[in-house]
Structure 1
Amino acid sequence: MDHPQNRKIRLEEKVEGVFHRLVDAFYRRWPCPPPPLPLLKSCRIISHRGEHDNLSRVENTLPAFDAAAEAGVWGLELDVRWTRDLFPVVFHDPDTQRLCNQAVWIGRTRLDAIRNQFPWIPTLPEVIDRYGGRLHLMIEIKGEHYPTPSVQSRRMRDCLEDLAPGEDFHLMALQPDKFGYFGFLPANAFVGIARMRMDRLSRMAADHRWGGLAGHYLLTTKAMLARHHGLGQGVGTGFADSRRCLFREAARGVDWIFSNRAAEMQAICRQA
């Protein structure tokens, strides 16, 4: 049975998706000249869930991440959920319905059962072993129940122990209260994500001295960029999926440019 909170999240994601499509359609046509060459060449482009179409390559899988790495992108965005026996796996949704047409709940299923039924779902240690230290990892922890925080914190610490917080990776969250489960990390390892209330998140990021914040490019103002750059914090925007939008974000000095077409955006920068 679907939980009311999960239905609410899916509704929010649908509304957010409509908003993104409308804004993207506008900015694909809005004239935007190329930014100065140094800004374009220094873009830190992050592949959102890897290079995927969910047909030939499925999101949040090693083939999707491999394709992004081969394209030369700066970073990977990936989602982490916990299995019933509290192992972190890389998967976006609470269940497999959207991608597999059958609802197996990640949080109610043991790791060995997930690996038997869906061998293409990677664990977080597998992803870190393959890309850690080579590409910057933006690891989004999902807003789910933490039944044994001490165990989950220890296992996350074990996963990340060979990486430098803030340099090799950031932990991201739409629900920043989840950062409290990972007190072994410094504040600059955290990046909050805003759905709509970017102003509220901006205040939180400044107060808590996080490594930065991320949100939709339309909601990220020049004043906000200046403020957080003045605090030594990074700002990420998504999703720059067209040439003109890429030019706009690069010209504004955005630190992390998230894209669902990161390989294509990286090629534009390379052609410069």
Structure 2
Amino acid sequence: MKFYAHRGASADFPEHTMAAYRGAIEQGALGFECDIRITKDETPILWHDASMKKQANNAAIIANKTYEEIKQIYPEVMTLNQLFDLAIEHKKSLALETKHPVPTGNRVEEIVIAELHKRKEEIAKSGIDIAIMSFSWFSIEKIKKIDPSIKTVMLLHESNARIARRFTSAQGIGPSVEMIKKSPELAKEIKNSGKELYVWTVDSTQDLQYCASVGVDIVMTNRPAHARSVLGYS
């Protein structure tokens, strides 16, 4: 089972910052996870919430501000290309979550795919694996339409898990660790369907061991050093 740093080593550093991802490298993460939003001037940045309240204690809305305006408010903001630079250099695979709903609809997927295409040779040379994830069924299908060669992961809500799994074209399925603990048959069903199993967010020793025991392929963790130790990586 592989483990990716959820928003970087975010138990120890501010999420989605260079410090968090460099920390994840030091802690031995096998890959990086991040959330992606686009700014008013269509710069893809690493950010979870629609607003800047949580990370920057500022009410600004990401979609309404340019990248430079956001950087003035929160200098530590990272762009997707900065993450690509780091991942390619250090050979860290990526799980990129596009956030929805957003006022620009599926523009975020178009931009992320364009950036992937620009760096296709570098990515191939580095040998890293990249998947785009979303809770939005429409986003997954948009990606398939633009470039069916890109790996996708359908993230599951409790409310629509069964129907999303049935009708998605994604090669991977992403339930929460709570979902697979509540319904042990879920992991088996996903694996038997031939899809990869991505699980979030897995931090405790017990949950890491459980995920390994049911055949999870990739876990997202805020504590990569802990995951590395529990999973027996040297």
TM-score range, shorter chain: 0.7 to 0.9
Secondary structure of the 1:104 match is strand
TM (norm. structure 1) is 0.73
Report the Cα offset of residue 116 of structure 1: 2.7
Q: 1:88 to 1:226 in 2, by over 3 A?
A: same
Corresponding position of 1:184: 146
RMSD over aligned CA atoms reads: 2.5
**Any gaps of 5 or more consecutive residues in structure 2?**
none
Answer whether contact 1:234 1:255 (CA < 8 A) is retained: yes
SS of 2:59's partner is coil
| One-letter code aligned to 2:163 | R
Is 1:142 equivalent to 2:103 in the alignment? no
Deviations 1:148-177 (CA, angstroms, capped at 9, x unpaired): 856x5553233212236x962111111121
* Aligned residue number for residue 60 of structure 2: 104
* 8 Å Cα contact 2:140/2:154 also seen in 1: no
How big is each residue's C-alpha offset from its partner over 1:62-83, in whole Å with a ceiling of 9 and x where there is no partner? Answer: 1101111221112211000010
Mean CA deviation greater in 75-84 or 98-107:
98-107
Is this contact kept in 1: 2:8–2:17, CA < 8 A? Answer: yes
Distance 2:198 2:102 in 1: 26
Instruction: State percent identity of aligned pairs.
Output: 22
Offset of residue 227 of structure 1:
3.5
Counterpart for residue 204 of structure 1? 167
Q: State which of 165, 168, 174 in structure 2 corresponds to 1:214.
A: 174
Q: Please report the TM-score for the alignment, with normalisation by the length of structure 2.
A: 0.84
Structure 2: which amino acid aligns with 1:57? Answer: F
- Which position in structure 1 is the counterpart of 2:9? 51
Distance 1:149 1:223 in 2: 33
Does the aligned pair in 1 maintain the 2:8–2:33 contact within 8 Å?
yes
Distance 1:99 1:83 in 2: 16
In the superposition, relative to structure 1, how do residues 102 and 266 fare at CA in structure 2: closer, same or farther (>3 Å)? same
- 1:180: Cα distance to partner? 4.0
Identify which of 89, 96, 114 aligns with 2:45.
Answer: 89
User: 1:93 deviation in Å?
Assistant: 0.9
Question: Runs of 5+ in structure 1 lacking a partner?
Answer: 1-42
Number of aligned residues:
223
- CA drift of 1:92 comes to 0.6
Matched, 1:259 2:221: yes
C-alpha displacement at 1:249, in angstroms?
0.9
Task: Note closer, same or farther for the CA distance 1:78–1:100 as it changes in structure 2 (3 Å cut).
Answer: same
- Structure richer in strand, relative to its length: 2
Distance in 2, matches of 1:228 and 1:167, equals 24
- Structure 2 residue matching 1:132: 3-state secondary structure: helix
